[in-house]
Amino acid sequence: MSKNQKDTKTLEKLKQFFRANRSGGAGYRLPEAFVLGGDVEREISSETPLPQRAKIIKELSEVVLNHHVEDESIKKMWHCVKDLLQDNMPREYRHLAFYFLRCLVQGQSERLGMARVHYFQLVRSHRNPEDVGPRLELLMGLLDGGRNIEFLEEEVAKFMAEWIGQIALADREADFLQVLVNLVKYNAAYIDEDVMHGFVHNVCVMAMKCPHINIGTSCLQVLENIVCYSTLPPQSLQIYVCCLCRTVNKEAYCVQSWKIMRNLLGTHMGHRSIYTMVHLLQDPSSCNDAYLLRGAVFHITFALWSSKRVEKLSSQCTYTSILPSFLCAVKSGHSVVVFEVVQALHRVVTKYGLQLVDIWWTIILSVLEAIISHIETGPADAITPSITSHLHETLCTIETMIELGQFNGSVRSVFQLMDRCSSIRPESSVMRLITYLSRSIVPTQADWLGKLHSILDRYLHQETRTSVRLRALEVLSSVIQSNRLHFEEELIERVVLPHLEHIEEERDAAVRNAEATLVVDVCVASVADNKHLPGLLDILDKLLLRAFELHDSPVTEAEVQDVKTTVEGVIRIFTSAMYHVPSSHAVRAFQMLVSHLEMHYAKPVVFDGVTSIRVMILECFMRLRVDNTYRLGYPVSQPGQTGPVRYSQYLLVEHSPPPPTPPALPPSSPSP
């Protein structure tokens, strides 16, 4: 009989076995034991050429996988194919032998008994690096994916811990991890602590470094099962926590990572885990690992202060023990870490602000100050606007608590923070800040004029928002009015003149107008015997000339509102100074009005459309009166009203002597 005929005969026997175990169309009936006949045994043995042998083995694989095989036949099959596992065999035949053995142990798993140890030793002792994949598949079949380790309890976990490096080189991590998931879930009691530590270490390293999401997810599943079905070795806690802190930064792992961390924190190692994360935030060696720090902040925040917090920890871990580590995290300088911290503080202030005491507020404000420093000095990146937004929301919440009397910390410290970031705070907040700062500007306070200088420098000269600058001028006006009686000269000399001497250079029309009003009010109030009045009039004189120096075309009344205010003020100064000495102040004011009016006619194009200013000056001149002793007077009543005229005791109008009165002629007598 030829070899082809023998091969065909063997295949026919296998096919008859399949047909014999089928019923009439209702599916499979209970299988009968398959007995390895002499012909089939010879065809799969080393006596048969490899190609024909491989063909029969492939057909036989389906038999041993799906049908009961007689015990003696199992042994014979092993002896027939074991030579294919030698290193000198071509790779495809070695892999075929492993595939056949996998089908054999998977199909006959319930009857292998102690033979399981033999097949495990095969997997363990075979060293060819090309066969790592088939060895793993054989082990998966032998262990039922990690669920059944009968007779292998003492060895399989240790072997897998040692084998994980070769698995990674062969890119078979996904299958290996799935076995490990089931091994921990169903057989954790048989895994020694040192072996479990090895699993944790290798799986954590793989999870942190592997870019493939499916592998990372399997790694986290292993870590979850270790916490749920076993006990995490104490020496593994550090790397376990670090792994969860890093993986939580990835969107694909975030939910799963937090779930595992929450499970860990619910165990007897919960407090130690919190301490480990706090230590990571404070450790200088961790300051360059932005995502490790961010993950630690995230887990601490959610564990202690979120709606899914771990109750036994949140009630025992105080802000004093946690928040200082957040300060260290902010000082690391990483924007992603600062963003996580400011979110955490916003959550704390919003949800638990009423429960916080002074010492806790001190720490929170210190962290907020560090966040402000980061915004000021750190690099501007895409996340900086989000940091700024959460910072402002937190500060606004604190402001609201202060207004409602619910803030238990240092109000002074809060406003110092707002002063530092006032340039990016809302206008309403800056207004409240200026109001608070103005309360300390009283003569009984040390350096009260220095504080006034500080407000004007920061909120008048450096600020760009009109309403804020006007509020600073209101503070100056209020301080002058309140302290004029005793400190008028000092305020004018040390504050008004230095800060307002160049108002003609001010670009903001509203601010320029307010500054002119303030200078006028100071002049009118101090018109009597004020040695600084000439300097104040110089400021107003430069403001009157400004429009003519800057404009060569017609201006609108809105553009020169400050000039109109100044003219009104100079008129008030003139009509007040004429009743006081030295009279030179009144003369100077009168000359300013005359000079300004002359400029209107010398350069008429500028104020061509603004007649109200000329009308005011001319009306003032037309209301002047002189009595019979040539004293200058001005009506007490308002324009358009009749009333008495008040004459100055110090101003006389220059005049020529009146012509002599001609002598009276003697009366002539009537004609006769």
Whose tokens are 């012909």? That residue is 39
CB atoms within 10 A of CB 121: 13
Using 50, 70 and 90 to split pLDDT, how confident is the model at 378?
Answer: confident
* Domain match, 514 and 476 both: no
Residue 303 domain-assigned (yes or no): yes
pLDDT digits (tens, 9 = 90+) for 508-556: 999 999 999 999 999 998 877 678 889 999 999 999 999 888 888 889 8
pLDDT mean over 229-239: 96
pLDDT digits (tens, 9 = 90+) for 400-410: 999 999 999 99
Residue 199 domain-assigned (yes or no): no
Look at strands 631-635 and 625-626 and give their pairing. Answer: antiparallel
DSSP string, 612-656: HHHHHHHHHHHH-EE-TT-EEEEESSPTTS---EEEEEEEE---P
* Domain match, 534 and 596 both: yes
Residue 433 domain-assigned (yes or no): yes
Please give the pLDDT value at position 314.
Answer: 85
The partner residues of 652 in beta bridges, in order of sequence, read 631
Does pLDDT of 319 surpass 70?
yes
Domain count, the chain: 3
User: Could you say which of 439, 465, 499 is where a domain stops?
Assistant: 499
pTM of the model: 0.81
Tell me the pLDDT of the chain averaged across its residues.
Answer: 90
* Domain match, 489 and 509 both: no
* Domain match, 460 and 564 both: no
For the chain, helix, strand, coil in percent to 5 are 70, 5, 30
Using 50, 70 and 90 to split pLDDT, how confident is the model at 668?
Answer: low
* Domain match, 549 and 507 both: yes
Q: List Cα–Cα distances, 489 to 132, 483, 484, 492, in angstroms.
A: 95, 10, 8, 5
User: Could you say which of 483, 499, 515 is where a domain stops?
Assistant: 499
* Domain match, 606 and 508 both: yes
Please give the pLDDT value at position 379.
Answer: 83
Using 50, 70 and 90 to split pLDDT, how confident is the model at 1?
Answer: very low
Cα–Cα dist 494/448, whole Å: 12
Cα–Cα dist 473/520, whole Å: 13
| Residue percentage of the chain with pLDDT more than 70 | 93
* Domain match, 549 and 463 both: no
Residue 88 domain-assigned (yes or no): no
Residue 289, SS3 per DSSP? coil
Does pLDDT of 213 surpass 60?
yes
* Domain match, 487 and 591 both: no
The partner residues of 179 in beta bridges, in order of sequence, read none
pLDDT digits (tens, 9 = 90+) for 448-504: 999 999 999 999 999 999 999 999 999 999 999 999 888 988 999 999 999 999 999
* Domain match, 556 and 463 both: no
Residue 373 domain-assigned (yes or no): yes
Strand order in the sheet with 645-652: 625-626, 631-635, 645-652
pLDDT digits (tens, 9 = 90+) for 265-292: 999 999 999 999 999 999 999 999 999 9
The partner residues of 645 in beta bridges, in order of sequence, read 635
Single-letter residue type at 490:
E
User: Could you say which of 499, 523, 554 is where a domain stops?
Assistant: 499
| Half-sphere exposure (Cβ direction) of 572: Cα atoms closer than 13 Å | 17
Residue 96 domain-assigned (yes or no): no
Instruction: Indicate the burial class of 409 (C-beta count within 10 angstroms; 0-12, 13-18, 19 or more).
Output: buried
Domain of 284 in residue numbering reads as: 268-400
170-204 as b/e: b if 16+ CB within 10 A: bebbebbbbbbbbbbbbbbeebeeebbbbbbbbbb
* Domain match, 467 and 557 both: no
pLDDT mean over 634-652: 84
Query: Torsions phi, psi of 597, nearest 5?
Result: -65, -40
Distance of CA 291 to the CA centre of its chain: 14
Please give the pLDDT value at position 49.
Answer: 92
Please give the pLDDT value at position 552.
Answer: 83
Cα–Cα dist 249/239, whole Å: 16
- For helices 254-265 and 290-305, give the axis angle rounded to 10 degrees: 60
Residue 164 domain-assigned (yes or no): no
Q: Which two tokens stand for residue 376?
A: 């000021």
Please give the pLDDT value at position 529.
Answer: 66
Cα–Cα dist 504/516, whole Å: 9
Q: Are 563 and 547 in contact (CB under 8 A)?
A: yes
Does pLDDT of 24 surpass 50?
no
Residue 493 domain-assigned (yes or no): yes
* Domain match, 280 and 359 both: yes
pLDDT digits (tens, 9 = 90+) for 556-595: 888 899 999 999 999 999 999 999 888 889 999 999 999 9
* Domain match, 539 and 559 both: yes
Using 50, 70 and 90 to split pLDDT, how confident is the model at 78?
Answer: very high
Cα–Cα dist 387/399, whole Å: 18
Please give the pLDDT value at position 22.
Answer: 46
Whose tokens are 């002599």? That residue is 660
Please give the pLDDT value at position 243.
Answer: 97
